[in-house]
Structure 1
C-alpha cells in the first residue's frame, strides 16, 4: 500500500513539473516577431490601396453630381471650373467628401470642358487623377 501511494505521488509531481522552458518561449517570441515584421508593411500597402479606391469612388460620385447639375442647368455647359456649392444638392448627404490620400487638408479639384468632360483630381501630396482613372 505504501508503494502504491509513493508511486501515485511521483506521478502527480511529474505532471506538475511539465511546462515550457525559457528557450522554447524565446523561440516562439522570435517567430512571432519575424511574422509581424513581414506582415506590417503589407497592411500599410493594403490601406493605401483602399484609400485610393475610396477616392476613385468618391470622384465618380462627384462627376455624376456635376453631370446632374449640368443637366438641370445649375452649371452652364461652357463652365471650366465648377462651384462645389452647386453640386452638393446632387451628392447623397449634401456634403462634398474629402480625399483619403494626400494631406489632411486636401480636397477634390473639379474641372469640366465639353471636350474632355468632368475630370476630378485630389490636391495635396500624393494627389491623383481620381476620375476618369488614368
Structure 2
C-alpha cells in the first residue's frame, strides 16, 4: 500500500477554526458596544458640566437672570456656541437652578447628569 500525504486541512479542522473565530468576534462586539455606550455617557456628563459653567458665568454677569435661565437662552446670549443634545438618551438637557442661584444641576428626563 502506498501512503499519500494530502496537503490542506480537513473539514473538521476548518469547522473548529471558524467556530473559534465566531466566539472571539462575538466577545469583541459585546465589548465594543459597552465601550460605545460608556463614551456616550461620558460625553453627556461633559456637556452637562459645560452647561453649568455657562450658567454660572451668566449668573455672575447678571444675578437677576437666574429665574429665566435655560439651555436655549444660554445659547442665545452667547454663553454656549450650540445647544448640546444628549447622546446616551433621548430628550434634552434641562437646567435646574436653586432659589439662591448657587446650586445648579442638569437633568435629562429626570436623570441627573450634573453633579454626578
TM-score by length of 2: 0.80
Give 1:70 shift: 1.0
Distance 1:83 1:129 in 2: 16
In structure 1, what is the equivalent of residue 92 of structure 2?
A: 107
1:85 corresponds, among 72, 86, 110, to 72
Question: Is the 1:75–1:82 Cα contact (8 Å) retained in structure 2?
Answer: no
2:8 corresponds, among 19, 40, 43, to 19
User: 1:37 and 2:23 equivalent?
Assistant: no
The structure with more radius of gyration: 1
Gaps of 5+ in 1: 1-13
CA shift in 2, pair 1:85/1:109, >3 Å: closer
Gaps of 5+ in 2: none
Q: Secondary structure at the match of 1:130?
A: strand
Give 1:86 shift: 2.6
In structure 2, what is the equivalent of residue 6 of structure 1?
A: none
Question: Is the 1:69–1:75 Cα contact (8 Å) retained in structure 2?
Answer: no
> CA-atom RMSD, angstroms?
2.4
Give 1:74 shift: 7.6
